[in-house]
Structure 1
Amino acid sequence: AGQITGVEGYVESAAIGLLAGRFAAAQLLGHAIVPPPPTTAFGALLAHITGNADAKTFQPMNVNFGLFPELKVAKGQDRKQALSRRALADLEAWLESSAQGRGEQRQLAAV
Structure 2
Amino acid sequence: MTGTTAQAAAQDTWREVIALLVKAADVGYRDAEANPALHSTALGARLMAASAVELLPPELDHLLDDVVLEPRTESMSMAELIAAAEAATRRHPIEELPIGASRVIVDICDLVRETRQ
The structure with the larger Rg is: 1
| Bigger relative contact order, structure 1 or 2 (CA pairs below 8 A, ≥6 apart) | 2
* Pairwise same-fold verdict (TM > 0.5): no
Q: When the two structures are superposed, what TM-score results if normalisation uses the length of structure 1?
A: 0.37
Task: Provide TM-score, normalisation by structure 2.
Answer: 0.36
